[in-house]
């Protein structure tokens, strides 16, 4: 596994990789603090593509508060071991200056309003920051497939839109996006780098999200959407979470789900003390 830190090192390593393995590459962008959720993206990429590159970059553009960016878990040494063990070919772990040099101009991206709702409403500018960095990483690491975790469902929609915009601008097909299902622990807690910020009591409360999904799955077909949401929010509050939103979307987008309109995807964000968690779950007719 080659670890690169500068764009120059990256280009050199990519040239070598493409000349030995061809241009069928898979890219798994991450912010580090890697866990089994990331491993599932890498495993799929390794199965699908001739080589796999991972980026570890805690992108300052997507954080609303400097304190949150500073606090984001960083464990590069362990991450490198993890990536090597999982068979990744190339790692790009740059500094912000390397990704966004002073003479680099951020593109104007029309994300079609996907960046303004739900997460976007609570974290203004967050998705613009995500789209900008993913676009930049794709410029630096041309690939055939881009792997994104469904844990960040709205992010997947934003990146899908980014790929369409890039296709329109370049006239080239660009990478295929592969959405990888969320990995959960035995109690249903979605794996997330932010879980590292939780103490034992907070972790126990975080599992209240999974308990609420389990309850919703048993009753969603019998309740009006508004009653389902109100009851679920009460449960989440009782579990010790400070709710931001709970929303039922028609799966595949962000349009509101209405009864009888296929399977709903529930999207949630809430706080456990000072740690913000998001999760989503698809309810299907059994
Ligand atoms: O999901 C993440 O870890 C980040 O938002 C991403 C896609 C790596 C962009 O910084």
- Together in a domain, 231 and 272: yes
- Together in a domain, 162 and 214: no
The number of angstroms, rounded, from the C-alpha of 281 to the middle of its chain's C-alpha atoms is 14
CATH number of the domain at 99, please.
3.40.50.620
- Together in a domain, 164 and 57: yes
> How confident is the model over 46-104, as pLDDT tens digits?
999 999 999 999 999 999 999 999 999 999 999 999 999 999 999 999 999 999 999 99
User: Does any domain span residue 187?
Assistant: no
- Together in a domain, 127 and 202: no
Ligand 1: residue whose CA is nearest its atom 9: 130
> How confident is the model over 117-143, as pLDDT tens digits?
999 999 999 999 999 999 999 999 999
Strand partners, 250: 264
**Closest C-alpha among 33, 79, 29 to residue 54:** 29
- Residue 163 Cβ inside 6 Å of ligand 1? The answer reads no
Ligand 1 centre from 31 Cα, in Å?
6
- Together in a domain, 158 and 41: yes
> Looking at the 3D structure of the chain, how many domains does it have?
2
- Residue 61 Cβ inside 6 Å of ligand 1? The answer reads no
Ligand 1 centre from 197 Cα, in Å?
17
User: Does any domain span residue 185?
Assistant: no
- Together in a domain, 235 and 144: no
Ligand 1: residue whose CA is nearest its atom 3: 30
Q: Which domain holds residue 263?
A: 193-282
Is residue 260 pLDDT above 90, yes or no?
Answer: no
- Together in a domain, 69 and 203: no
- Residue 192 Cβ inside 6 Å of ligand 1? The answer reads no
Q: Are the beta carbons of 155 and 148 closer than 8 angstroms?
A: yes
Which of 180, 214, 237 finishes a domain? 180
Ligand 1: residue whose CA is nearest its atom 2: 30
- Together in a domain, 147 and 13: yes
User: Does any domain span residue 14?
Assistant: yes
Q: Are the beta carbons of 177 and 160 closer than 8 angstroms?
A: yes
Residue among 31, 138, 280 to mutate when testing ligand 1 (max atoms within 8 A of CB): 31
* Distance of alpha carbon 157 from alpha carbon 111, whole angstroms: 10
- Residue 162 Cβ inside 6 Å of ligand 1? The answer reads no
Write the CA distances from 206 to 36, 236, 263, 281, integer angstroms.
Answer: 18, 9, 25, 15
Which of 180, 209, 235 finishes a domain? 180
DSSP label at residue 190: B
- Together in a domain, 174 and 236: no
- Together in a domain, 72 and 204: no
Ligand 1 centre from 194 Cα, in Å?
13
Residue among 91, 152, 195 to mutate when testing ligand 1 (max atoms within 8 A of CB): 152
Quick one: CA torsion of 189, 262, 117, 242, rounded to 10 degrees? -40
CATH number of the domain at 219, please.
3.30.1300.10
> How confident is the model over 8-38, as pLDDT tens digits?
999 999 999 999 999 999 999 999 999 999 9
Band of residue 286 on the pLDDT scale cut at 50, 70, 90: low
User: Does any domain span residue 148?
Assistant: yes
Residues labelled catalytic: 38
Q: Are the beta carbons of 153 and 106 closer than 8 angstroms?
A: no
- Together in a domain, 144 and 41: yes
Ligand 1 centre from 224 Cα, in Å?
35
């Amino acid at each position: 596994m080659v670890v690169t830190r500068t764009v120059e090192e990256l280009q050199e390593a990519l040239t070598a990789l493409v000349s030995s393995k061809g241009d069928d590459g898979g890219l798994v962008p991450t912010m580090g603090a890697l866990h089994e959720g990331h491993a599932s993206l890498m495993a799929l990429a390794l199965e699908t593509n001739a080589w796999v590159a991972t980026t570890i970059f805690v992108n300052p553009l997507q954080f609303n508060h400097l304190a949150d960016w500073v606090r984001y878990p960083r464990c590069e040494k362990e991450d490198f071991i993890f990536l090597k063990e999982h068979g990744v070919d190339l790692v790009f772990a740059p500094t912000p200056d390397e990704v966004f040099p002073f003479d680099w101009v951020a593109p104007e991206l029309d994300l079609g309003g996907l960046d303004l709702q739900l997460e976007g409403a609570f974290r203004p500018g967050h998705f613009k920051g995500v789209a900008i960095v993913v676009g930049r990483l794709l410029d630096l690491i041309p690939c055939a497939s881009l792997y994104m975790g469904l844990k960040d469902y709205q992010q997947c929609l934003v990146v899908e839109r980014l790929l369409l915009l890039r296709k329109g601008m370049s006239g080239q097909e660009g990478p295929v996006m592969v959405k990888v299902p969320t990995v959960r622990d035995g109690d249903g807690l979605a794996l997330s780098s932010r879980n590292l910020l939780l103490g034992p009591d907070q972790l126990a409360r975080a599992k209240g999200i999974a308990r609420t999904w389990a309850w919703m799955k048993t009753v969603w077909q019998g309740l009006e959407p508004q009653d389902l949401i109100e009851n679920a929010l009460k449960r989440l509050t009782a579990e010790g979470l400070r709710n931001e939103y709970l929303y039922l979307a028609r799966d595949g987008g962000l349009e509101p789900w209405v009864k009888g309109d296929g399977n709903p995807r529930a999207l949630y964000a809430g706080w456990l003390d000072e740690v913000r968690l998001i999760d989503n779950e698809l309810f299907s007719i059994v």
